[in-house]
Amino acid sequence: MIKEIDLFGVFLPPMFAYACAAALIWAALRRGLAWVGSDRLAWHSALFSTALYAFVLSCLVILFFR
């Protein structure tokens, strides 16, 4: 059973923890991709960034619920 996360008396869903972890991984990936210079290859950088975050988040959820 999935338990809630207790954060100073506030109960948060586990998806919040996955979203925070995905945000950290996403930020590192974005910096790495910007350093390599692959940002210029994306047609719409905001759309690519959002899709990358969604991909990282879905990979984390699949990894933990497999």
Dist CA 55 CA 49 (whole Å):
10
Give one word for 42, left, alpha or beta, with left for phi > 0 and alpha for psi -120 to 50. beta
pLDDT band at residue 2 under the 50/70/90 scheme: low
pLDDT at 7: 79
Q: What is the pLDDT of residues 15-43, one digit of tens each?
A: 888 999 999 999 999 999 989 988 788 88
pLDDT band at residue 57 under the 50/70/90 scheme: very high
Residue whose tokens read 């899709």: 51
> What tokens does 51 get?
């899709």
The average pLDDT across 55-64 equals: 94
> Per-domain residue ranges for the chain?
5-64
